[in-house]
Amino acid sequence: MNPSLIKEQPMSVPVEPLLQVRDLTLLYGLEKGCQGVSFDLYPGEVLGIVGESGSGKSTLLSLLSGRLPPQRGSIGYRGKDGEWLDLYSASEAERRTLLRTEWGFVEQNPRDGLRMGVSAGANIGERLMAQGVRNYKELRGAGLDWLSQVEIDPLRIDDLPRTFSGGMQQRLQIARNLVSSPRLVFMDEPTGGLDVSVQARLLDLLRGLVRELDLAVVIVTHDLAVARLLADRLMVMRRSHVVETGLTDQILDDPQHPYSQLLVSSVLQP
Amino acid sequence: MNDLTQAPVRDPAYNFAYLDEQTKRMIRRALLKAVAIPGYQVPFGGREMPLPYGWGTGGMQLTAAILGADDVLKVIDQGADDTTNAVSIRRFFARTAGVATTESTPEASVIQTRHRIPETSLQADQIMVYQVPNPEPLRFIEPSETETRTMHALNDYGVMHVKLYEDIATFGHIATSYAYPVMVDERYVMDPSPIPKFDNPKLDMSPALMLFGAGREKRLYAVPPFTRVTSLDFEDHPFEVQKWQESCAICGSHESFLDELIIDDAGTQRFVCSDTWYCAQRVEQQENNQ
């Protein structure tokens, strides 16, 4: 496993984080939601968030991706131009622009993240069109290119996503998000609901793309195998608190917190 | 063409132009806002009209609100002055408002229309009133009203091109031929009601005031005179209007929008102008010349 990429940088060039999260809190009730979450995410780093159902993983992801304003705390994002942007004091227009250009969001259910009524090519091209690309040939080229990158037959560019299998839909959703070359992608259980062999292929593809494009990723999962394959660093959540953070291998091989130990030991070994 | 202008007889049982004064005032206020923000959809308290939704209730409410006693009204339905819808609405306002009606485009001061802009160019003192079934151009891709309003507010129109992309991907060219989306004054994307895209260029920098009313959706919007209206397109698939190989079988026009008629069981086609007054006037001119 590759421990976070900062270690590989020469010491003379200090790398600034991409995302700075401080004391992020949103509670729906006592220990429901998430509270007091702070971390830094560096460019090219994959952060996994693991924990049981109801531990606040998805709430945290919604807060991070600008979909749900927090009750307390702040999120700073360093844009392409190096300027820091405070996510929730920025205007909604700025947040939206961010979400469809420098960020991506891969939903657990591809039907939530895709436009089911328009073709695969249009799904991939939408972000480019929103950014002002007005050249059909260019959009078409990007569509074909990305379909082959996510291992979908380019001949299916004009087919509707509903004619695709679940795994293909998920890969299409990933292509749709990556077409605008984002720097940061949020994923909510991207392999949930897929069968094991399809999961393995998707993970393989994701791992390749993440390394190749130098993406920073925040991935929520309850599957420790997914976390081990993709994540550089893990955050273990339980009852709205982050109970343990550290390098993936460190947490999975030598968990310190009793809950992490329980989580790791409860994985079924085939 | 003065013989086409009928003498008005107003039925005193109705308030002038059917609607009560408060309602007309409310609609005029909404219209002022619509004119101030070209292309922006203004909600208004749409009233029940004595005909079903889809028959032009939105357009009729706007017409009722702007009509004055000395206005001359023309009503067209698919370009024709003599179809049921056009005749009924014209008679409705002749009876309730006692205004003069006409079939002549230059003589009319208010033209209520369903699906066409007259071929004869409009003048500065004329008002076009459009009957709109579906005012929201983003609806096809975004079912949520909250979301479409946000998209309009934030100028977030990327999805509009998704529809055009789909057309090219499916048909090889932009096949949308009516209700073709336009950008008004470089700000709001607008559905120009189901006029054929043939008429879209007539919206651009038109000297006449354009008002759009959707009765069922209770929205109205406007394009003030001399406003830039551009049709959305792609660089390599520019906006084009329909063209016909044929010319009008009655007046021989090459420039007008043609309707295709099937005149027998063998499928023989005939093409005639959709704008009946334009066609009739050309025929009259040709007869005079001879």
What pLDDT, in 10s, does the model give residues A169-207?
A: 988 998 999 898 888 999 988 887 777 877 888 888 888
B172 lies within 8 A of chain A by CB: no
* Average pLDDT of span B45-71: 93
Phi-psi region of A188 (alpha: psi -120 to 50; beta: other; left: phi over 0): beta
B175 lies within 8 A of chain A by CB: no
Q: Quick check: B170 and A130 CB within 8 A?
A: no
* Average pLDDT of span A9-13: 54
**Chain A residue with Cα closest to B233:** A134
The answer on pLDDT for B240 being more than 70 is yes
Pull the structure tokens for residue B65.
Answer: 């609100």
Which backbone phi and psi does B53 adopt, to 5 degrees?
Answer: -55, 140
Which backbone phi and psi does A223 adopt, to 5 degrees?
Answer: -100, 110
**Amino acid of residue A135:** N
A262 lies within 8 A of chain B by CB: no
Q: Quick check: A136 and B170 CB within 8 A?
A: no
* Average pLDDT of span A233-255: 89
The answer on pLDDT for A37 being more than 70 is yes
C-alpha dihedral sign at B179, B209, B102, B280: negative
A114 lies within 8 A of chain B by CB: no
- Number of Cβ pairs closer than 8 Å across A and B? 60
pLDDT in tens, A147-178: 988 888 999 999 999 999 888 898 899 899 98
Q: Quick check: A158 and B150 CB within 8 A?
A: no
- Residue B1's pLDDT is 42
Q: Quick check: A135 and B159 CB within 8 A?
A: no
Alpha carbon distance, N-terminus to C-terminus of chain B: 19
**Chain B residue with Cα closest to A160:** B166
Q: Quick check: A122 and B237 CB within 8 A?
A: no
Whole-structure pTM value = 0.83
Rounded percentage of chain B residues whose pLDDT exceeds 90:
80
Closest CA to A263 of A102, A253, A198, A40: A253
The answer on pLDDT for A270 being more than 70 is no
| Measured distance CA(B96)–CA(B107) in Å, rounded | 21
Q: Quick check: B162 and A129 CB within 8 A?
A: yes
- Residue B259's pLDDT is 92
| Measured distance CA(A32)–CA(A35) in Å, rounded | 9
B141 lies within 8 A of chain A by CB: yes
Residues of B designated catalytic: 39, 248, 251, 273, 279
- Residue A56's pLDDT is 87
The answer on pLDDT for A1 being more than 60 is no
Highest mean pLDDT among A26-40, A181-195, B266-280: B266-280
Question: What's the ipTM?
Answer: 0.79
Closest CA to A47 of A270, A251, A182, A247: A247
Contacts of A140 in chain B (CB under 8 A): 169
pLDDT in tens, A76-103: 888 888 888 888 888 888 888 888 888 9
Given a contact cutoff of 8 angstroms between Cβ atoms, the answer to whether A201 and A167 are in contact is yes
Question: E strands within B116-185?
Answer: 127-131, 182-184
Which CB contacts under 8 angstroms, 24+ apart, belong to B248-255?
Answer: B248/B272, B248/B273, B248/B279, B250/B279, B250/B283, B251/B278, B251/B279, B251/B280, B251/B282, B251/B283, B251/B286, B252/B282, B252/B286, B253/B119, B253/B278, B253/B279, B253/B282, B255/B119
- Residue A151's pLDDT is 85
Out of A130, A131, A137, closest to residue B236 by CB:
A137
A155 lies within 8 A of chain B by CB: no
Given a contact cutoff of 8 angstroms between Cβ atoms, the answer to whether B193 and B131 are in contact is yes
pLDDT in tens, B199-233: 999 999 999 999 999 999 999 999 999 999 999 99
Min distance A91 CA to chain B CA atoms (Å): 10
Q: Quick check: A122 and B170 CB within 8 A?
A: no
Pull the structure tokens for residue B133.
Answer: 């079934």
B173 lies within 8 A of chain A by CB: no
Q: Quick check: B169 and A157 CB within 8 A?
A: yes
Q: Quick check: B162 and A126 CB within 8 A?
A: yes
* Average pLDDT of span B244-248: 91
| Torsion angle defined by CA atoms of residues B83, B86, B89 and B90, in that order, rounded to the nearest 10 degrees | -100
* Average pLDDT of span A30-59: 88
| Measured distance CA(A266)–CA(A146) in Å, rounded | 38
Min distance A162 CA to chain B CA atoms (Å): 16
Out of A96, A121, A134, closest to residue B234 by CB:
A134
Closest CA to A21 of A84, A80, A94, A82: A84
pLDDT in tens, B98-133: 999 999 999 999 999 998 999 999 999 999 999 999
Contacts of B169 in chain A (CB under 8 A): 119, 121-122, 140, 157-158
Out of A96, A125, A134, closest to residue B154 by CB:
A96
Out of B150, B163, B169, closest to residue A121 by CB:
B169
Q: Quick check: B162 and A115 CB within 8 A?
A: yes
Given a contact cutoff of 8 angstroms between Cβ atoms, the answer to whether B198 and B241 are in contact is yes
Q: How high does pLDDT run on average in chain A? A: 85
- Residue A265's pLDDT is 83
Contacts of A130 in chain B (CB under 8 A): 156-159
Q: Quick check: B237 and A117 CB within 8 A?
A: no
Specify burial of residue A177 (Cβ count, 10 A radius: 0-12, 13-18, 19+).
buried
pLDDT band at B88 (very low <50, low <70, confident <90, very high): very high
- Residue B136's pLDDT is 94
Q: How high does pLDDT run on average in chain B? A: 92
Q: Which has more pLDDT, B135 or B141?
A: B135
Contacts of A117 in chain B (CB under 8 A): 141
B183 lies within 8 A of chain A by CB: no
- Residue B3's pLDDT is 46
